[in-house]
Amino acid sequence: MSGSGLRRALIAAPVIAFALLAALLYGRLHSGDPSTLPSALIGRPAPELTLPALDGLTTDAGVASPGFGRADLAGGEVSVVNVFASWCGPCRQEHPLLVALKDEGVRLIGLNYKDKPDNALRFLRGLGNPYARVGVDASGRAAIEWGVYGVPETFVVTGDGRIAFKYVGPLTAEAVEKTLKPEIEKARTAPPPKPAPAS
C-alpha cells in the first residue's frame, strides 16, 4: 500500500469505527419494550419520603386529599403509584384508564412531578381525580428516589410497602389488562418477605 493509501486508511478507520458504534447504539436504543426497563427498587421498600398534599384538592367525600409517605403505602393494601404531571401529554392519554381502575376498586396514589399546583388542580378537576392521595414533588427529588425515567410511570406497591413492579411510559388499555392487572393480583397474593437471618 502506498503512503497516501495508508494515510487514507488511517483516517477512515476511526470514522468507520464511530459509524459502526453509532449504528449499534441506535439499534439497542430502539430495540425491546421501554415499558420493561429494569428497576433496582423491585422487591425493596418504597423510598422513605413524605410528600405534601396538593393544596385545594379534595376527595370524592369532599375532604382535603392528603399527601403520602412510605408509611401510607405499607398499610396492608396494594397500591398503584402513578407519576404524572399536567404538562405531560401522555399522562392525559392514560388518565381515563386510571379513572377506570379506581372505579374497579384499585387504590391509586398520585405523585405529581414538577408541576404548578394550579395546573395540577385544573388537570385533576377537569379529567377526574382517580387518586386516594396525591403527593407533590415540586423539585423532582422524590422521582429521583423512585428511579423515575420520565412521566408517566406507574408502580405496583405491595401491602407491606415494597415495590413489586414498574411500568415505564403511558399505560394503554392492553397494558392495563395484560400487564398491570396481573401484577396487581400477583402483589395481592405475594407472601411477605422472609426476615433476614440474625447475624
The full set of domain ranges for the chain reads 1-31, 36-189
User: Which residue in the block uniquely carries the three cell numbers 397500591?
Assistant: 79
SS3 of the chain: helix, strand, coil, percent, to 5:
40, 20, 40
Please state, rounded to an integer, the average pLDDT across all residues of the chain.
87
Instruction: Please give the grid coordinates belonging to residue 49.
Output: 419520603
Residue 193's pLDDT band, with cuts at 50, 70 and 90, is low
For the stretch 109-166, pLDDT in tens is 999 999 999 999 999 999 999 999 999 999 999 999 999 999 999 999 999 999 999 9
What DSSP character marks residue 70?
G
Residue 11's pLDDT band, with cuts at 50, 70 and 90, is confident
Instruction: Please give the grid coordinates belonging to residue 152.
Output: 408517566
Q: Nearest-CA neighbor of 79 among 175, 178, 165?
A: 165
Above 70 in pLDDT, residue 38?
no
Above 70 in pLDDT, residue 183?
yes
**What fold, for 36-189?**
Glutaredoxin (3.40.30)
